[in-house]
Amino acid sequence: MTDITTTQTPFVGRSLWADALARLKANKAAMFSLIYLALMAIACVFGPYFVSHPYTTIYPDYVRTPPSLSAYPQAEMIDTALKDAVRRMRVDLEEWHEQDERIFVTISSPKQIDERVTRYLDRSDTFDNTRIESKSADGLKLTMSATVAKEHFYFGTDNTGRDLLSRVLMGGRISLAIGLLAGCVAVCIGVLYGATAGFMGGKTDEIMMRIVDILYSLPFIFFVIMLVVFFGRNFVLMFLAVGAVLWLDMARIVRGQALSIRRQEYVQAAEALGVSSGGILLRHIVPNLLGPVVIYMTLLVPQVIILESFLSFLGLGVQEPMTSWGVLISQGAKNIGSANWLLLYPAFFLVSTLFALNFIGDGLRDALDPKDR
């Protein structure tokens, strides 16, 4: 028998994980969602650095500006701003026109015009770098030019004149981070607790699950609100705590799975081989548990994001000037009559992200558990 050599190359097997990956790759909705989610994450993490308006900066000239692809200020806004400035100069506006990215303004007055009037233009958010172009000999007519500060508000601005685009991206950063953070906490606690209960079995299991039952029957919202009250403004701590509340489902799922895996003949076979409890847990139970855990995790993250938005909606979540999708939607809901983009943009970002996460979850379930189809 010793002539058997291990040098001959064995066939490479296809593990269930490889199979699942292949099935996942074949699922167009899930793959598309995965890409979408990745782009969304990149946009939210790096986007705010590229948007020229910091999410906290207030533009008093641009309160509740509707979204637009073209740059602000538009002609009539220049006109308004200009007239405003000219009125403060106590002179008359003769004429203005735009040329080479500068505007040329001609003013006249019955009296001599002081050249220092240019500062009135500079004071406005709209204009910069004002300089005198020409002055009539009698000093009653003056032409000056200024650059116009071009601002793009692709998503419009909010009630206080902050750029919605950067706020939505910033909010996404918070919402996604919180979803991931609390999701991980919940999964960790749930898996540890559930696997312990399921693997120990007997009295330990009974007591541990009894505790879960009692926690279940407490109104969930009560718990969350109490946590908000305790942890107050520190949202990282708060969402660690929220994650610590959401583990109940995970614990039940994992326990059920662990119990059923423990009854499998391959675990009995391992016991018959004398494999230790730890070995069985590591080699048999954990790898077979991983599927349901991964699936549940992808479904948990949107739950947490919704929860965060829900709390923010109630004013219990992230505090101003920091923002999240829930905060933005809440503000949008209060302004649906006058500025519906305040609702529509954050709602679209939130909902599309939730959809993507759901599709990924479904795809993973189909891939890991193909008999369900």
Partner 1 sequence: MLRYVFRRLLTAIPTLFVIVTISFFLIRVAPGGPFNQERGLNPVIKANLERQFGLDQPLWMQYLHYLNNLLHGNFGPSYNLPDFTVAELFKVGLPVSIQVGASALILALIIGTILGVIAALRQNKGADYAVIATATAGSTVPTFVIAPIYQLIFATTLALVPVATWGGGALVNKIGPIVTLALPQIAIVARLMRGSMIEALRSHHIRTARALGLSDWSIIVKHALRGALLPIVSYSGPAAAALLTGSIIVETIFQIPGVGRYFVEAALNRDYTLVMGTVVVIALFTILFNLIVDILYAAVDPRVRYD
Partner 2 sequence: MAGNENILSVENLKVRFHTLDGVVEAVKGINMYVKPGETVAVVGESGSGKSQTMMAAMRLLASNGEATGTIAYRGANLLTLTKSELNEVRGRKITMIFQEPMTSLDPLYTIGNQLMEPIMRHRKVGAEEARKEAVKVLKLVRIPEPERRMKSYPYEMSGGQRQRVMIAMAIANDPDLLIADEPTTALDVTIQAEILNLMADLRKRLGMSMIFITHDLNIVRRIADRVYVMKLGEVVEEGETRAIFANPKHPYTKALLAAEPTGHKEPVPKTAPTMLDGTDMRVTFKIGGGFLAGDPIYLKAVDRVSVKLRRGQTIGIVGESGSGKSTLARALLRMVPSEGAIHFDGRNIEKFDTQQMRPLRKQLQIVFQDPFGSLSPRLTSGQIVTEGLLVHEPSITSKERDRRAAQAFVEVGLDPANRNRYPHEFSGGQRQRIAIARAIILKPKVVVLDEPTSALDRQVQKQIVDLLRDLQQAHNLSYLFISHDLAVVRAMADHIMVMKDGRMVEQGSPEEIFDHPHEEYTKRLMAAAFADHAVAGA
How far is the CA of 40 from the CAs of 35, 45, 176, 184, 310, in angstroms?
Answer: 8, 9, 9, 20, 21
Q: Which is nearer to partner 2, 214 or 273 (CB)?
A: 273
For residue 362, state whether it binds partner 2 (rule: CB under 8 A): no
Other CB atoms within 10 A of residue 320 CB = 10
C-alpha distances in Å from residue 346, one per residue of 38, 302, 351: 18, 15, 8
Q: Could you give the angle at which helices 164-200 and 235-245 cross, rounded to 10 degrees?
A: 40
Nearer to partner 2, 75 or 214 (CB): 214
214: contact with partner 2 by CB under 8 A: no
6 binds, among partner 2, partner 1, none (CB under 5 to 8 A by kind): partner 2
Report the residue number, 240 or 267, with the smaller CB distance to partner 1: 240
Give min distance, CB of 290 to partner 1, in A.
23
For the segment 285-304, give every residue that binds partner 2 (CB under 8 A).
287-288
Applying CB under 8 A, among 138, 272, 337, 338 the residue interacting with partner 2 is: 272
Taking CB within 5 to 8 Å according to partner kind, which of partner 1, partner 2, none is near residue 69?
none
43, 192, 314, 322: residue in contact with partner 1 (rule CB under 8 A): 314
Closest CA to 162 of 296, 304, 65, 87: 65
| DSSP H or E stretch at residue 207 | helix 202-217
User: Residue 310: how many CB atoms within 10 A of its CB?
Assistant: 16
Q: Which of residues 208-227 bind partner 1 (CB under 8 A)?
A: 214, 217-219, 221-222, 225-226
Binding piece for partner 1, criterion CB under 8 A, among 139-147, 181-189, 285-293, 301-309: 301-309
Residue 104, beta-bridge partner list: 97, 145
| 183 to 146, 226, 242, 271: CA distances (angstroms) | 53, 19, 9, 34
- Residue 6 CA, chain-centre distance (Å), reads 52
Contact (Cβ atoms closer than 8 angstroms) between residue 159 and residue 169: no
Interacting span for partner 1 (CB under 8 A) from 68-76, 148-156, 253-261, 345-353: 345-353
> Can you list the positions of beta strands (E) in 49-140?
92-99, 102-108, 127-135
* Phi, psi angles (nearest 5°) of residue 12: -95, 125
**Contact (CB, 8 A) for 195 and 281:** yes
Q: Which residues pair with 106 in a beta bridge?
A: 95, 143
Residue 260 interacting with partner 2 (CB under 8 A) = no
Which amino acid type is present at position 17?
Answer: W
By CB under 8 A, is residue 354 in contact with partner 1? Answer: yes
Joined tokens for residue 366: 């189909």
Pick one of partner 2, partner 1, none as the site partner of residue 136 (Cβ within 5 to 8 A by kind): none
d(CA 341, CA 66): 7
Q: Beta strand 141-148 with 127-135: parallel, antiparallel or unpaired? A: antiparallel
Q: How far is the CB of 62 from partner 2 (least distance, A)?
A: 55
Select the residue interacting with partner 2 from 9, 70, 99, 338 (CB under 8 A).
Answer: 9
Closest contact distance (angstroms) between CB of 286 and partner 2 is: 9
Query: Quick one: what does residue 347 bind among partner 1, partner 2, none, with the CB cut-off 5 to 8 Å set by partner type?
Result: partner 1
Q: Which of 46, 154, 266, 348 binds partner 2 (CB under 8 A)?
A: 266
Q: Which of 52, 84, 351, 370 binds partner 1 (CB under 8 A)?
A: 351
Kindly list the residues in this chain that would bind partner 2 in the complex (CB under 8 A): 1, 4, 6, 8-17, 264-266, 268-276, 279, 283-284, 287-288
Interface residues toward partner 1, by CB under 8 A: 214, 217-219, 221-222, 225-226, 229-230, 302, 306, 309-310, 313-314, 316, 326, 329-330, 332-333, 336-337, 340, 343, 347, 350-351, 354-355, 358
